[in-house]
Amino acid sequence: MDKEHAKFILQSYRPDGADASNPDFTEALRLVAEDRELGLWLAQERAHDAMFAEALMTVDIPDGLRDEIFSVMEYDGGGKDLSSEIDAVFVGAMAHVSPPEGLRDQIISAMEVERESSKKPNSTKVVRFPLRWLNVAAIAAVLVLSALFIYPEFNINSNEQLALHEIQLGMGTVLNASYKMEISENTLVAMNSWLAREGLPEADTVPQGLITDAVKGGKKLVLDNGVRASMLFFEKKDAGEFYLMVLKVSSLEDAEKLLSIDQVGLKSCWNCEVTHFNVTAWKDNGKAYLLLSKSERKTMLELF
Amino acid sequence: MSEFQELVDAHYQPLYRFGFSLAKNPDKAADLVQQTFCIWAQKGDQLKDRSKAKTWLFTTLYREFLAGARRSNKFPETDLEDSEYHLASKEDDTGRAIDAKRAVAVLNSMDETFRAPLALFFLQQHSYKEIAAVLDIPMGTVMSRISRGKDLLKKKMREKLAGSSKVVVMNSSERGQKNG
């Protein structure tokens, strides 16, 4: 082995000495012991490498990343047999449904969205819902759920509380398929007045970045359990479109997971693998809020 | 503590640093780490040899990065600001003078071809053979990219220093050549 070949090999020798017992480096290290110039070169090389290794160790780990990893696991692979729950919802729902006019077209549109989503390669999104969800019955159940959101007169009145992830999944599916605002307003005050007249929950706790010059309008929704919810539409220059659902906290079976708006952060913002919306949620006195957007999570969190 | 918790605690920090060196963005790096552990939650039980979990995780993160980069069609090379190269002392050799932030910036300015193997090398979590497995390239290619990558790193720093009005630093071999 000549000196240049030894240098080539030793450039892959880790500066912390982890490769000391690696036989791939034995011959090159033997040469270093015999050649003073090579020894000096290796010492300089390892010092240079150690500097970069130390520099990489100073890259800050974001606060809460570890907790976020574990939080995400609650939504993915948590051991709950979600497919049987969805199947039960589907069977129950279909037993009571009388399809309204136009539902067929709405379902076909939503199915095309789902088909395109399932074709895509692994995305850069954060949360991955269990793939066992996406069997035919589950997709159909999601479509029925989304139909329940589109058509307020669908009122199965099961009196069940719904889980946060079911609500956000339904909301995202509706938004992807199609939606129409029932009212156009450009101030939050006017929007809340309309909601109050309609007997719908008002948006009292809104991210600071959406309070002025962002409201576009709203819509009323009736959930599967008969609860009426508000949907507000926002569009903010250079940030994108945002959709805010407001409903009673008592409608959620897992409302205890929600934080107050001033606690919203990276940990409480996730991505839905099915609908590709970024989602965050919070609660105030008696009300729960879900904010959805296709904007980046960082952009969403900057609204708060 | 569960196996999953142990795995997260053992690897999420170096995974993040690797993701950061690839994506050059803290949000995207965090996303890459999240995706990696999500995929582990779904498929990790297929790995029979649990001692390979670390390599599996880094490989998965790298593949997620590539998949995302293919979609966005971006492999940018960042030019460094001259202001990042104010050296403390003329006598300091290149390696000691540069501080951590600048070192990371220099590394992040490299083309992805070199940045990925160099980041894994400097993280010191993997031997060059393991780096080859993570990046799915031959071992000889890894050694070549580490070797050329480190030469390029030094060259980038010297060029920036030569362009700066503050100080000129030569390494010992150049000093020898200049003096004849």
Question: Which pLDDT score, from 0 to 100, does residue A147 have?
Answer: 45
pLDDT in tens, B42-84: 888 888 888 899 999 999 999 999 998 887 765 554 444 433 3
CA angle, residues A5, B127, A12, in degrees to nearest 5: 25
C-alpha atoms less than 13 angstroms from C-alpha of A200 in its C-beta half-sphere: 23
Q: Does B154 touch chain A (CB under 8 A)?
A: yes
- Cβ of A65: how many Cβ atoms within 10 Å? 20
- Cβ of B69: how many Cβ atoms within 10 Å? 17
Q: Does B24 touch chain A (CB under 8 A)?
A: no
pLDDT in tens, A193-234: 888 888 888 998 899 888 888 888 888 887 766 778 899 999
Which has the closest alpha carbon to A5: B16, B25, B52, B140?
A: B140
Q: Does A276 touch chain B (CB under 8 A)?
A: no
Rounded to whole angstroms, what are the CA distances from A286 to A260, A289, A291, B64?
A: 11, 10, 17, 40
pLDDT in tens, B130-150: 999 999 999 999 999 999 999
Q: Does B152 touch chain A (CB under 8 A)?
A: no
Question: Which pLDDT score, from 0 to 100, does residue B71 have?
Answer: 76
A232 strand-pairing partners: A218, A244
Query: For B99-167, where are the E strands, in sequence order?
Result: none
Alpha-carbon span A285 to A62, nearest angstrom: 31
Question: Which pLDDT score, from 0 to 100, does residue A123 have?
Answer: 41
Question: Which pLDDT score, from 0 to 100, does residue A106 have?
Answer: 54
Per-residue pLDDT of chain A (304 residues; tens, 9 = 90+): 889 999 999 999 998 889 988 999 999 999 999 999 999 999 999 988 988 888 888 888 998 899 888 887 666 544 444 444 445 554 554 554 445 555 555 555 555 555 555 555 544 433 333 333 334 444 444 444 444 444 444 344 445 677 787 787 777 766 765 566 788 888 888 888 888 888 888 998 899 888 888 888 888 887 766 778 899 999 888 888 899 999 888 888 888 878 888 888 877 788 876 677 888 999 988 899 999 998 888 888 888 8
| Inter-chain touch B150–A11, beta carbons under 8 Å | yes
Question: Which pLDDT score, from 0 to 100, does residue A130 have?
Answer: 37
Percent of all residues in chain A with a pLDDT value above 90, rounded to a whole number: 17
Question: Which pLDDT score, from 0 to 100, does residue A225 have?
Answer: 64
CA angle, residues A85, A221, A130, in degrees to nearest 5: 30
Please give the distance of CA A67 from its chain centroid, rounded to a whole number.
15
Report the residue from A9, A57, A127 with minimal CB separation from B38. A127
Question: Which pLDDT score, from 0 to 100, does residue B136 have?
Answer: 93
Question: Which pLDDT score, from 0 to 100, does residue A274 have?
Answer: 67
pLDDT in tens, B161-176: 666 544 444 444 544 4
Query: Average model confidence (pLDDT) for chain B?
Result: 78
Residues 141-200 of A with CB under 8 A from B: none
| Inter-chain touch A14–B124, beta carbons under 8 Å | yes
Six-digit token pair at B54? 């670390």
Alpha-carbon span B102 to A286, nearest angstrom: 50
**What is the residue whose two structure tokens read 């010092």?**
A47
Rounded to whole angstroms, what are the CA distances from A10 to A110, A237, B115?
A: 58, 54, 19
Distance from CA of B13 to the nearest CA of A (A): 7
Chain pair A-B, CB pairs under 8 angstroms: 145
Q: Which residues of A touch B172 (CB under 8 A)?
A: 44
Which has the closest alpha carbon to A68: A57, A76, A60, A79?
A: A76
Question: Which pLDDT score, from 0 to 100, does residue B175 have?
Answer: 47
DSSP helix/strand/coil, B177: helix
C-alpha atoms less than 13 angstroms from C-alpha of A170 in its C-beta half-sphere: 23
Max alpha carbon distance in chain B (Å)?
Answer: 64
| Inter-chain touch A11–B147, beta carbons under 8 Å | yes
Suggest the residue from B70, B110, B121 to mutate for an interface test with chain A (most A CBs closer than 10 A).
B121
Report the residue from B38, B68, B124 with minimal CB separation from A18. B124
pLDDT in tens, A24-59: 999 999 999 999 999 999 999 998 898 888 888 888
| Inter-chain touch B8–A70, beta carbons under 8 Å | yes
Question: Which pLDDT score, from 0 to 100, does residue B169 have?
Answer: 44
